[in-house]
Chain A
Amino acid sequence: MIWFSQFGLTEEVIRQVLSDALGRGADDADLYFEHLNSTSVALSDGKVNRASTNVDLGLGVRVVVGDSVGYAYTEELSLASMREAAQVAAEIAAGGQPRTVERIGSRPGPTADRYAVRQPWELVDMATRVDLVRSWERRTFAADPRVKKVETMVADTQKHILIVRPDGRLVHDYQPMTRAFVSVTAEQNGKKESAAANIAQRQGLEFYSEAHVGALVKKAIDDTMILFEAGKPPAGEMTVVLGAGSSGILLHEAIGHGLEADFNRKNISIYADKLGQRIAPRGVTVVDDGTLPFARGSINTDDEANPAEKTVLIEDGILKSYLHDEISSRHYKVKPTGSGRRESFRSPVLPRMRATYMESGPYSPEEVIASVKNGVYCSTFSNGQVQIGAGDFAFYVRHGYLIEDGKLTRPIKDVNIIGNGPKVLETVQMVGNDLQIDIGGWTCGKDGQSVPVSQGMPTVKVEKLSVGGAS
């Protein structure tokens, strides 16, 4: 509340706007105030030659009647503009007895503190940012003589949100984020290859420790140089081993989206009638977790003022829960899972993932690889997509290796892998003991809204997927 008082917000103003939102007999409503400042500084062609800043300020008003939603927003926090937005959103309601607004702040909201910042970006000057991207560039060039071009970038966001509910909840959260990017173009024997790496967390300047920067530069270099040796795998169905870490993208696409409760409430997900059923072999446990310290996908509060939690989606192969916002939790008569998220004040809340990962299993990664006669091992990914109803999903492998007679052999690159979520889950054959949460800057898109997410995976063997190679 204190943060937003600089824009003239008082308890009385908020109460008036919320009363307008509920003025036509809605079941529920929320006000979502947002103030965001972001800065990015980039180096290319040997020069720190680009910077950008962005300021976003506004209020989103959502009015809920059953499972119908009225939504409006304003970028101007004058009383007149905010009341107009509330009245527009309230038009979804047919007209009836206005719901009472409890005293603002009379009920506690989530109080977690998962991303306390030691060196806030507000106090970091441009010169420091310039030094950062310059030092990463120098370090990247120094790491390998084949490096010919380097691009580096550092970005940070400081987002303050204030959520107000008619039941008296008033929750403020400060959501920092920083992301670093290093891109390499290298040349070897007249041939060029290029790759990029990025890392992101909810932290201040302290995120750029020697360990994190070293890992970022090493990944950008390694992911580039491996491409000189890599070729296309054969095309067709084969056994796939997913390396630990970023291969959590498979869970995100194949399972995570299908378990977002809005799709199930509407009966359009392939998992719509499978709660309580076995959908994966024993030993497969998948969670979506908003509580990991500093993780890109972590949140202290979701955007409906509910606490984020660690939600067990699949436990030992049995489908246990969907990811809920309040609308779906009312439909299913369960507690919200703290998964109601939105891109900004311009968009209504949807059930979304936070950090999705599979818990570790019993096998060493070496055992998993050794069990495969012919297959592919996937180590670096870029993007994925799913069809919620059919369950078909795809993810793009930047590079990996062929597995021949239980050993990693030739590197492979640039293949799309496609499969069907429920079929793949059924054929998870081995789960490694090496869960890693990836710290890449993953962003999830749904209904035109982007939100930051994390993902993770132990080494996992899947019986077969279709690999887009060459015949």
Chain B
Amino acid sequence: MNADQHDNSRPLLDVATQAHDLARSLGADEVSCSVSRSTEVSLQRRAGKLEQAQRATSLGLSVSLLVGDRFSSHATSDMRPTALRAFLERAVDATRALEPEVERRQADAALCGRGTSEAVLDQVDSTWGALDARQRGALAEELEAAVDALPQRHRLVSATVGVGDSSSESVRVMTNGFVGEHRGTGFGMSVEMTLEEPGGRRPESYSYYGANHRADVPVPTHLAMEAWARAEQRLASGPIASGRYPMLLENHAAGRILGVLGGPISGGEIHQGRSCLAGRKGEAIGNSKFSLYDDPTIPRGLGSRPWDGDALRARPMPIVEAGVLQNFYLSLYYGRKLGMEPTTGGRSNWVVPRGSRSRATILAGIPKCIVVTGFLGGNGNGLTGDFSYGIQGVLYEGGVATANLSEMNLSGNVLEIFHQFAEAADDTYVYSSVRSPSLLFDGVQFSGV
């Protein structure tokens, strides 16, 4: 081996420790060094043949530095020893040109560590290493066969199926004494379909599932049928009259509307004066039926983690409980800046408690309801709370689907939408870090024709 090549056999902990110590010796007062390695494999099939096969093994290093209370962050994939040294020298030098801020100092080591054991988080599927190219190929073929077995295939213009899996490990070493190692595996399957309808429109749909454990991904038939059902909901679609309608937000799409809270409750936005929820902790921002929790400890949760960005132990916290805003996302830095107790810097799993009635039962009791199945474009303004999103969906009248909807927008405001919340269904979606059932809202503003 060339003397200036990275030795791939070295444990990540050695690499991270050495880089940490080197940065310290070059003049950094505090260093947080992470090294991560991942392997990803993906296959796509279309029209009976392999369309793309991709394999990637990645190794990268990132450091955050504090030099005389001046802060900077750096990342590199050039792991050659001489390159790494030059990279760290430049990083330390660059940091000296900035202005100091004591709020960037690392956390007290006593607050750092693993909030939940690796065994409880259960994010590693021990069978990952046994998966070989033949099995992956067979799985992709099985998925394609499930699509081929669908009825009414004459309307199908194209179907692409994909399978993928990954394994990752990372190590973090900090000057405050924290050392953490984390591993995870991932498995995913997808079906994308395009149907053709008279007039040339080719509505598309998809079904995608990802999980830490292979056994948690639904069977191929489920994906094929779901993609087909969603595609059928896109046929002959169009807008209906503008107005206020009850909205049933499908569970897998709930993240977009819940997400309007994300900006206004983040420390960075509050600190910059860009949040409509600043100063409202303890106030009702929704009605008493609405609650939302952040929980990083859920076994196999796609947003679960042992510690957060500051290496603080991950722990559950309420965001909104019975309509009352309970917590902001405050990293160590923004907590100190705002003079508030830090919570955690960013979202893990979001959980909306499930209700007791099925989606169908809820819909049956409503004369006219827009079921929102997906979104198209849109954005919001965290300072005023206004948001506006394009939607696709289905109009239900007395529990019966009567029209497929497209070319419509919904508009609302963060300070109002959760007061319009009416009910959660019993169908929690667990294949996302937003674990929500379908959600019913009253009187949502839709624009169409």
Contact = CB atoms under 8 A, between A and B. Distances in A.
Given A91-B53, A149-B273, A466-B447, A56 B94 contact: no
B271 A45 contact: yes
B71 A270 contact: no
Interface string B85-111: 001001101111111010010000000
A73 interface: yes
B76 interface: yes
Nearest to B61: A55
Contacts of B93: 126
Contacts of A69: 51-53
Contacts of A468: 378, 388-390, 409-411, 447
Contacts of B127: none
A268 interface: yes
B273 A416 contact: no
A413 B386 contact: yes
A395 interface: yes
Nearest to B386: A414
B59 A471 contact: no
Interface string A399-418: 00000000000000111111
Contact residues of A: prevailing secondary structure: strand
A390 B101 contact: no
A419 B409 contact: no
B15 interface: no
A8 B234 CA distance: 54
A130 interface: yes
B386 A232 contact: yes
B358 interface: no
Nearest to A272: B202
Interface stretch (A154-162, A288-296, A379-387): A379-387
Interface in A327-358: 346, 348
Nearest to B73: A52
A362 interface: no
A88 interface: yes
A71 B273 contact: no
Interface in A55-83: 55-58, 67-76, 78
A15 interface: no
Given A52-B73, A270-B202, A390-B406, A39 B384 contact: no
Interface range on chain A (Cβ under 8 Å from partner): 35 or more
Interface string A428-443: 0000000000000000
B272 A44 contact: yes
Contacts of B273: 148-149, 185, 192, 194
Interface stretch (B1-9, B16-24, B167-175, B425-433): B1-9
Interface residues of B, number: 87
B428 to A, nearest CB: 27
B98 A48 contact: yes
A419 B272 contact: no
B244 to A, nearest CB: 7
A393 B201 contact: no
B379 A416 contact: yes
A25 interface: no
Contacts of A451: none
B298 interface: no
A259 B133 CA distance: 35
Nearest to B96: A126
Contact residues of B: prevailing secondary structure: strand
A76 B5 contact: yes
Contact of A387 (B59, B203, B446, B447): B203
A272 B194 CA distance: 12
Given A53-B91, A414-B388, A419 B50 contact: no
Contacts of A384: 377
B102 to A, nearest CB: 11
A422 B407 CA distance: 13
A70 B194 CA distance: 24
A76 B6 contact: yes
B445 A470 contact: yes
A383 to B, nearest CB: 6
A416 B409 contact: yes
Contacts of A45: 271, 337
Contacts of A70: 52-54
Nearest to B49: A68
A167 interface: no
B75 interface: yes
Given A415-B411, A471-B243, A268 B202 contact: yes
Interface string B387-420: 1111010000000000000111111000000000
Contacts of B367: none
B201 A391 contact: yes
A47 B104 CA distance: 13
Interface in B165-186: none
Nearest to A67: B51
A414 B410 CA distance: 12
Nearest to A385: B377
B53 A71 contact: yes
A246 interface: no
Contacts of B98: 41, 48-51, 126, 130
A178 B379 CA distance: 26
A127 B97 contact: yes
A47 B99 contact: yes
A425 to B, nearest CB: 13
Contacts of A390: 201-204, 234, 237, 406
B299 interface: no
A92 B449 contact: no
B74 interface: yes
Contact of B390 (A44, A268, A416, A470): A416
A74 B57 contact: yes
A247 interface: no
B99 A49 contact: yes
Interface string B32-74: 0000000000000010011111111111100000000011111
Interface of A: 8, 39, 41, 44-45, 47-58, 67-76, 78, 88-89, 91-92, 125-127, 129-130, 148-149, 151, 183, 185, 192-194, 227, 232, 235-237, 253, 266-270, 272-274, 346, 348, 382-396, 413-420, 422, 466-471
Nearest 10 CB-CB pairings of A with B: A394-B377, A468-B409, A389-B202, A235-B447, A126-B97, A394-B390, A416-B388, A468-B388, A55-B76, A385-B377
Given A346-B56, A388-B202, A395-B377, 15 more contacts: A39-B94, A41-B98, A69-B52, A74-B57, A75-B59, A76-B5, A125-B97, A185-B272, A268-B204, A393-B376, A394-B376, A416-B389, A416-B411, A418-B407, A468-B389
19 contacts: A44-B272, A45-B271, A51-B71, A51-B95, A52-B74, A55-B76, A56-B77, A57-B76, A68-B49, A68-B53, A71-B53, A73-B56, A127-B97, A192-B383, A270-B200, A383-B379, A392-B407, A419-B407, A468-B390
